[in-house]
Amino acid sequence: MTIEIKDLCFAYRNSKELAVNQFSMNIETGEVISILGRSGSGKSTVLRILAGLEVPSEGEFTLFGETMFGKSTFVQPEKRGIGLVFQDYALFPHMTVFDNVKFGLSKLSKTDRNKRANEVLELVEMQDYKKRFPHQLSGGQQQRVALARALAPNPKLLLLDEPFSNLDKELQNKIREELYSILKRAQITSIFVTHDEDDAHTIADRIVKLDKGKVTKIGRPCDMLGTP
Ligand code: ADP
Ligand code: ADP
């Protein structure tokens, strides 16, 4: 089973240009995909469409056999089983690390909720920081907690928007290696957006290059070298 994305088109209301122009690709289970492009190339808009936060004018999106968007279908964001990690982490400042991670698990019993929160905190190696508040953590640690929170409900697909942009260069290098191993350990299919070639090449199984809303190239990192 795969993720099928076909011919997505989208223009913002006040704009004549398409922010996303016939975006198509298939993704295999467990793949880590990176969408690489300059600022304004439409990367975030693609993620917003997949998450259900924007409605495309055309196209189809099927998530492991289930249509999320199509001619007569629109599945609401909260029903899609898609996890999101934004640039600014958006952890709840008044909640501890543990409560932040438990937040999306209200369907589970109290025991299962605690168990799952512990599991994902262990996965990102933050189990010793459960009682801290976000402001008591470094940027890299907040990043890992945000990831744990997104992973906790077992999303079918994880979307990450410039997850390293708020970190300094040294920390970025460390975190992207970590992120790749966490994603692979969790066996989670994911798409992450970046304008940084190094990020894309370190983390992705395949890279999608985007320019002015259009896909210009899709391939493995080793096939991308030397292309504009
Ligand atoms: P990226 O994530 O690659 O920086 P975006 O998806 O944010 O690109 O933006 C794609 C295009 O859509 C850009 O030309 C941008 O100016 C435009 N755009 C983004 N958000 C809005 C908005 N809310 N209203 C109008 N235009 C927007
Ligand atoms: P990392 O590389 O994991 O992001 P840092 O090197 O930035 O961590 O931080 C090292 C230690 O300092 C960590 O154990 C972290 O808990 C602590 N620390 C960093 N920033 C803060 C802060 N603002 N308040 C309290 N502790 C902090």
ipTM value for the complex: 0.69
Give the position, in ligand 1's atom list, of the atom nearest the Cα of 44.
Answer: 2
The answer, yes or no, to whether residue 36 has pLDDT greater than 90, is yes
Most distant CA atoms of the chain, gap in Å: 52
Cβ 142 under 6 angstroms from ligand 2: no
For residues 10 and 196, the model is more confident at 10
In short, whether 100's Cβ falls inside 6 Å of ligand 1 is: no
Q: What is the CA radius of gyration of the chain?
A: 17
Asked whether 31 and 187 are in contact (CB, 8 A), the reply is no
Helix and strand element counts for the chain (H, E): 7, 11
Share of the chain above pLDDT 70, in %: 97
Q: Distance, CA 43 to ligand 1 centroid (Å)? A: 8
Measure the CA dihedral 92/158/142/88, to 10°.
Answer: -70
What is the model's pTM?
A: 0.84
pLDDT tops 70 at residue 119: yes
Average pLDDT, the chain: 91
